[in-house]
């Protein structure tokens, strides 16, 4: 198979949802269709179970699992599918945001009873900002839930999407009869038997055909006809170009647990979802078809074994082929590196591969060379864009609790930050270090890992910040900047790239600062300097 065919057959995507909407279940059913696993229950959920005895011990246990589920690859029909795992737990949202820089499209899972939930809103917003093509899967139709039209409204309003249903439920909950597949023009009858791979599907291109009454009963047939008429009136026709641009989102209904509506979703997905897409770098747009290799690190996973401090860096291949033992340029270090054992991922296992193509993810063993966002090329000096840090939501001073181990603490913090566990800010005034995280859980994780992997001890103290706002000194007028720096002295620091950060203590303080020092622009993600 030629290079362009290899690219054309790849579909690299992520599934996003609020915890418990059914992401793990759907992933598992997709893997079953791909023959990548033989039975349900084979994919261990890497979510943190509610009521776990100690959340962070649970995280440690899950860390082992999550290497295995980071990339789940399988073949389906003539396509090679890479599902990138995105943690649903909100304390790991930053991991998910970063993974979204490596996907070419996403599937959004929504619980039919709960509708659009908080985490979904945040993740969809990130996808919307990046024009990532999205398909919505409304799950748990076997349960009582919201009316389909109400849900579609909610999706449009809360997620700010333009939807078009490509399937429509017939009944719901105890009265759930099946689904009319608008895309394939057939009816899928619900049997409630999750062991079946293929449900009973009846080709049916005209719902006005009286046969429909016999199949689903008169009441449901009439309702379906009315509803489909409304669908045609209200929603735009599916348009692949609009979907690919992120302007239109098709919606499917189903029940992942019952393996219902999943094949339809997958069949449509492989037809419409994009193959690996071009990616913007700081110098130019890089196309997958280019002959020369380029890629970037979107995730780093520390080894579970503290005796070997090596890590696995996950690289998304953007262009060309990645070959084993060939030297590539690590742009930030300006140094050539060779990799003798790049890993490719399959469902639940990894293998050493000789060659990988755009859209693929390779795992490279790393002894501390990589940071999230690093670019590798075949010699060209450029950096891929769009791997920002978002403002943390929690801030604490970190103190050294064992003065004999200050080197270890420094090294541990440095490496954990490279992994993207949290963000470290150094205060300008006194050099004290502040750790910012998306979730409070991360503090326990950091403390635990510093002790077990680096032999260092730390303690925390509250730091009264609310949001990190990045500041670009060259934006500002000199005298205004000097005044800002003097007044806000206590709240200024630098991130690990040396960028100036204002650690604001409230929304009010952000507003006041913007009013008082209009030339001091505040940025809420760290990638402003790349734009
Ligand atoms: P997540 O990864 O998005 O967090 O969700 P997950 O797949 O773990 O699903 C959350 C719960 O919802 C699970 O039940 C799962 O069995 C259930 N579920 C998923 N899809 C459907 C569906 O189509 N219909 C119904 N009725 N339930 C569904 P649980 O009891 O929390 O966990 P488990 O003990 O079954 O693993």
Q: Are residues 369 and 261 located together in one domain of the fold?
A: no
Distance CA 97, CA 120 (A): 12
- The reply to whether ligand 1 has any atom less than 6 angstroms from the CB of 255 is yes
Separation between Cα atoms, residue 485 and residue 305, nearest integer Å: 44
Is residue 319 in contact with ligand 1, taking CB distance under 6 Å?
no
Q: Is residue 419 part of a domain?
A: yes
CA-closest candidate to residue 288, choices 342, 386, 357: 357
Reported confidence tier of residue 242, pLDDT bands at 50, 70, 90: very high
506 within a domain of the structure (yes/no): yes
Token pair, residue 13, equals: 């995507």
Structural domain includes residue 75: yes
Rounded to the nearest angstrom, the distance between the alpha carbon of 498 and the centre of ligand 1 is: 44
R_g of the chain, CA atoms, integer Å = 25
pLDDT category of residue 216 using cuts at 50, 70 and 90: confident
Q: Is 89 in the pocket of ligand 1 (CB under 6 A)?
A: no
pLDDT tens digits, 401-415: 998 999 999 999 988
Sheet holding 167-170, edge to edge: 167-170, 178-181, 186-189, 200-203
Cα–Cα distances (Å) from 530 to 266, 281, 286, 399, in that order, read 36, 9, 16, 32
pLDDT of residue 53: 45
Q: Which of 225, 254, 272 delimits the end of a domain?
A: 272
Q: Considering Cα of 56, then 58, then 60, then 62, what sign does the dihedral take?
A: negative
94 lines ligand 1 (CB under 6 A): no
Nearest alpha-carbon partner for 74 in 349, 356, 260, 363: 349
Q: Looking at the chain, how many residues does it have?
A: 531
23 Cβ inside 6 Å of ligand 1: yes
Instruction: Verify that 63 and 85 share a domain, yes or no.
Output: yes
Residues 6+ apart with CB under 8 A from 94: 389, 390, 420, 438
Token couple for 200: 């009973």
Higher pLDDT, 302 or 437: 437
Inter-CA distances, 413 with 32, 167, 403, 456, 480, Å? 40, 49, 15, 10, 34
Residue 229 lies in a domain: no
Q: pLDDT at residue 251 above 50? A: yes
Residues 42 and 84 reside in one and the same domain? yes
Per residue in 369-402, pLDDT (tens digit) is: 898 889 999 999 999 986 566 788 899 999 999 9
The pair of three-digit structure tokens given for residue 496, joined into one six-digit string: 């690990």
Domain boundaries, position 346: 279-377
Q: Do the Cβ atoms of 162 and 156 come closer than 8 Å?
A: yes
Provide the domain count of the chain: 3
Pair 298, 316: CB distance under 8 Å: yes
Contact 357, 7 (CB under 8 A): yes
435 and 522 both lie in a single domain:
yes
Q: Which structure tokens are listed for 218?
A: 């008169």
Is 288 close to ligand 1, i.e. is its CB under 6 Å away?
Answer: no
49: in domain: yes
Could you tell me if the CB of 420 is within 6 A of ligand 1? no
Are 407 and 326 in a shared domain?
no
- Whether 339 and 443 map to the same domain: the answer is no
Give yes or no for a contact between 337 and 331, defined as CB atoms under 8 angstroms apart. Answer: no
Q: Is the CB of 18 under 6 A from ligand 1?
A: no
In this prediction, residue 198 carries a pLDDT of 53
Residue 127 lies in a domain: yes
* 446 plus 339 within the same structural domain: no
Residue where a domain terminates, one of 349, 377, 405: 377
Residue 50 has pLDDT above 50, yes or no: no
d(CA 163, CA 184): 18
Q: Is the pLDDT of residue 476 over 60?
A: yes
Question: What was the pLDDT predicted at 507?
Answer: 93
Q: Please provide the distance, in angstroms rounded to a whole number, between the alpha carbons at the two ends of the chain.
A: 38
Domain boundary among 377, 407, 422: 377
Q: Does the pLDDT of residue 7 top 80, yes or no?
A: yes
- Average pLDDT over all residues of the chain: 87
312: pLDDT strictly greater than 90: no
Q: Atom of ligand 1 at shortest distance to CA of 25? A: 7
- pLDDT (tens digit per residue) in 17-40: 998 999 989 998 998 888 776 666
Q: How far is CA 53 from CA 57, 65, 89, 208, 446, in A?
A: 8, 18, 16, 56, 18
Is pLDDT of 45 > 70?
no
Q: Are residues 155 and 254 in the same domain?
A: yes
- Minimum CA distance residue for ligand 1 atom 21: 257
Position of tokens 């809103």? 121
Domain with residue 401: its CATH number is 3.30.70.3280
Alpha carbon of 258 to ligand 1 centroid (Å): 10
**What mean pLDDT is predicted for residues 420-435?**
92
In a domain, 140, yes or no: yes
Of the listed ranges 45-59, 135-149, 293-307, the least confidently predicted one is 45-59
Domain shared by 248 and 300, yes or no: no
Amino acid 44: pLDDT: 54
pLDDT for residue 347 is more than 70: no
For residues 250 and 329, membership in a common domain is answered with no
Which of 31-35, 279-283, 331-335 has the least mean pLDDT? 31-35
112 in ligand 1 pocket by Cβ < 6 Å? no
Q: How far is the CA of 144 from the centre of ligand 1 (A)?
A: 15
Residue 246 tokens read as 């992120």
Ligand 1 midpoint to CA 378 (Å): 44
Task: Kindly state whether residues 430 and 367 are assigned to the same domain.
Answer: no
Report the separation in Å between the CA atom of 57 and the middle of ligand 1, taken as the mean of its atom positions.
23
Quick check: is 517 in a domain? Answer: yes
Same domain, 134 and 265: yes
Rounded to whole angstroms, how far apart are CA atoms 391 and 448? 23
- Where is pLDDT greater, at 58 or 197? 58
Average pLDDT over residues 500-510: 94
Instruction: Using alpha carbons, select from 7, 157, 62, 102 the residue that is nearest to residue 297.
Output: 102
Q: State the chain's maximal CA–CA distance in angstroms.
A: 83
Q: What is the CATH number of the domain that holds 16?
A: 3.40.50.300
**Distances in whole angstroms, Cα of residue 479 to Cα of each of 16, 429, 472:** 46, 20, 15
- Average confidence (pLDDT) over 259-279: 94
What pLDDT is stored for residue 461 in this prediction? 96
Question: How many helices (H) and strands (E) would you count in the chain?
Answer: 14, 31
């Amino acid at each position: 198979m030629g290079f362009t065919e290899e690219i054309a057959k790849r579909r690299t995507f992520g599934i996003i949802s609020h915890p418990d909407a059914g992401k793990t279940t759907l992933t598992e059913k997709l893997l079953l269709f791909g023959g990548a696993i033989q039975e349900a229950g084979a994919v261990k959920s890497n979510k943190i179970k509610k009521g776990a005895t100690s959340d962070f011990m649970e995280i440690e246990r899950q860390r082992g699992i999550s290497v295995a589920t980071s990339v789940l690859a399988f073949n389906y029909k003539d396509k090679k599918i890479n599902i990138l795992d995105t943690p649903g737990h909100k304390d790991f949202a930053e991991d998910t945001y970063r993974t979204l820089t490596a996907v070419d499209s996403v599937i959004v899972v929504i619980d039919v009873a709960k509708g659009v939930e908080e985490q979904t809103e945040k993740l969809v917003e990130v996808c919307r900002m990046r024009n990532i093509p999205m398909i919505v899967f409304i799950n748990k139709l076997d349960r009582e839930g919201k009316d389909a039209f109400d849900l579609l409204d909610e999706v449009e309003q809360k997620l700010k999407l333009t939807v078009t249903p490509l399937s429509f439920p017939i009944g719901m909950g105890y009265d759930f009869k099946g689904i009319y597949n608008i895309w394939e023009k057939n009816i899928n009858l619900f049997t409630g038997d999750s062991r079946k791979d293929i449900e009973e599907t009846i080709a049916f291109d005209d719902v006005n055909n009286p046969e429909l009454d016999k199949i689903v009963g008169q009441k449901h047939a009439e309702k379906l006809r009315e509803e489909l008429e409304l669908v045609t009136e209200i929603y735009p026709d599916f348009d692949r170009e609009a979907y690919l641009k992120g302007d239109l989102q098709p919606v499917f209904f189903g029940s992942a647990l019952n393996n219902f509506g999943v094949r339809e979703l997958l069949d449509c997905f492989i037809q419409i979802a994009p193959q690996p897409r071009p990616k913007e770098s700081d110098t130019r747009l890089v196309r997958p078809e280019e002959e020369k290799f380029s890629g970037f690190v979107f995730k780093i996973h520390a080894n579970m074994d503290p005796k070997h401090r090596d890590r696995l860096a996950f690289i998304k291949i953007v262009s060309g082929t990645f070959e084993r033992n060939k030297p590539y340029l690590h742009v930030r270090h300006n140094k050539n590196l060779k990799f003798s054992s790049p890993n490719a991922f399959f469902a639940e296992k990894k293998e050493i591969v000789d060659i990988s193509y755009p859209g693929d993810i390779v795992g490279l063993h790393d002894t501390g060379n990589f940071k999230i966002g690093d670019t590798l090329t075949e010699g060209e000096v450029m950096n891929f864009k769009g791997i920002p840090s978002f403002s943390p939501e929690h801030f604490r001073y970190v103190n050294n609790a064992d003065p004999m181990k200050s080197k270890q603490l420094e090294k541990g913090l440095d490496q954990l930050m490279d992994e993207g566990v949290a963000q470290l800010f150094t205060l300008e005034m006194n050099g004290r270090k502040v750790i910012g995280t998306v979730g409070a859980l991360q503090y326990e994780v950091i403390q635990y890992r510093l002790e077990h992997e680096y032999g260092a001890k730390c303690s925390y103290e509250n730091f009264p910040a609310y949001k990190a706002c990045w500041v670009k000194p060259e934006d500002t007028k000199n005298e205004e900047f000097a005044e800002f720096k003097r007044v806000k002295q206590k709240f200024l620091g630098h991130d690990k790239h040396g960028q100036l950060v204002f650690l604001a203590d409230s929304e009010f303080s952000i507003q006041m600062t913007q009013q008082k020092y209009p030339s001091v622009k505040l940025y809420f993600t760290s990638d402003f300097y790349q734009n």
